Amino acid sequence: MVDRIIEKKRWNLKRIVMAAGGCIIAAVVIYGAINARRGAGLNVKSSRIRTATVTEGDFQEFIPVTGTVIPVNTYYLDAVEGGRVDTVYLEAGSFVKEGEKIIRLANTKLLMDVMYREAEIFQQSNNLRNTRLSMERHSLEIKREILDLQHRIKQQRRIVESNVTLARKKLISEREYQEARDDLEYLERKLELTIETQRQDSIFRMAQINNLEASLARMQKNLEIVKKNMENLVIKAPVSGHLTTLNAEVGESKQRGERLGQIDILDGFKVRVPVDEHYITRVNTGQKGTFTLSGREFIVFISKIYPTVAEGHFNVDMAFRGEEPNDIRRGQTLRLRLELGDLSRAVLLPSGGFFQATGGRWVYVLNESGDEAIRRDVHLGRHNTEYYEVLEGIEPGERVIISSYNNYGNAERLIMK
């Protein structure tokens, strides 16, 4: 008789019962988790949540901004004329007095221009002098001619008077008498013409001299401007103050109008604040901002708004009202709270991480015993760094979970453990 190998069965009744039981348990767990997320309730540890009570109080809408301390008065040093940096008298960071030399530029082209204009003025001055001499000489010639005519007229007049007597006595002919009268009339008319010529020539010569003098005056004025530009090659301090920046090295070329540095007057400061363009219609002069420094709170007000938007921001200047901090410095960064509206009464919900998950559309509200939190739709309005304004959905006195909702999914109910 031959032995037969009996195969061992892998799935006996006991194993089948155990597998079925495990599947049932897993299904129950999965079903419970799904139901918990869909409204049956999600267990959470109360120690891991943060709650706050809804209150009614004064609400002040503000935004956190960061500003930079700058002097109230700043004077910029610009190159009036371009040139090569020849001498640097002071270094950045120095304190300067009004009129003190800071930089000297060299400009050969400008120097040549001065010399050319001086030569033009010299030539024009010579032309004016020669024209005056010529006018005087011509005037003397005409006066001499007039004097000669006047003398000849006197002589001819005596001849005519003598001929009158002779003609009555028939001692001269009528022709001789008439020729003498014609000569006298000719000399008189010539004298009148010479006098008129003298007058017209005098007017012309005077106009010519006036034009030359005006041209000479313009040249001299232009020369003064060029010489003034030569003086502007030496950059001097317009006021006494702190030479904050100086952008000039010996041998470096500078263009006309290029910024060379700036002088700050350290008798007062203001804060320049970049504000997000989203608030450009809500920011006006006079609005208040506050900041804390060295344990004390200080107040600033918007004094100037710059409407130009760059990289999503526009700038405002904020001036101190009242006492300024003693230890404030230029370039110091301050964190401010900029108020956007007037103080008003509102229902307030403290800010928290819940907003990132819900967008402010719903929150979890605790019951009176604090062992459950039910999801509730809400409508939030304005906000600041501390509170949200509640428009509807929750009332003062109710407790709300304000910590993050990221682990709760869409659960309608939370059970505190």
Q: pLDDT tens per residue, the chain (417 residues)?
A: 445 555 555 555 666 656 666 667 766 556 555 544 444 578 888 888 899 999 998 887 788 899 999 988 888 899 888 889 999 998 888 889 998 999 999 888 888 888 888 888 888 888 888 878 888 888 888 888 889 988 888 888 888 888 887 877 777 777 887 888 888 888 889 888 988 888 888 888 888 888 888 888 888 888 887 788 788 888 899 888 889 889 888 888 888 889 999 998 878 889 999 999 988 888 999 999 989 888 888 999 999 999 899 999 999 999 988 778 888 888 899 999 898 876 778 899 998 889 988 888 999 999 988 889 999 999 998 887 788 999 999 999 999 999 999 888 888 998 988
Contact 256, 79 (CB under 8 A): yes
- Give the tokens for residue 358: 């819900």
| pTM of the model as a whole | 0.51
CA–CA separation, 113 and 118 (whole Å):
9
Contact 245, 114 (CB under 8 A): no
| Angle CA 286–290–292, to nearest 5 | 160
Closest alpha carbon to 69 in 327, 306, 270: 270
Q: How far is CA 117 from the centre of its chain?
A: 38
Q: Which residues face 75 on adjacent strands?
A: 263
Q: What are residue 340's phi and psi, to 5 degrees?
A: -110, -10
Burial of 59 (0-12, 13-18, 19+ CB in 10 A): buried
CA–CA separation, 370 and 402 (whole Å):
14
| Angle CA 257–258–259, to nearest 5 | 115
- Give the tokens for residue 91: 């270094």
Q: What are residue 268's phi and psi, to 5 degrees?
A: 180, 155
Contact 328, 293 (CB under 8 A): yes
CA–CA separation, 270 and 334 (whole Å):
11
The SS3 assignment for 234 reads strand
CA–CA separation, 136 and 129 (whole Å):
11
Residues contacting 337, CB < 8 A, separation 6+: 62, 63, 64, 65, 289, 290, 291, 384, 385
- Give the tokens for residue 388: 């949200």
Q: What is the pLDDT of residue 1?
A: 45
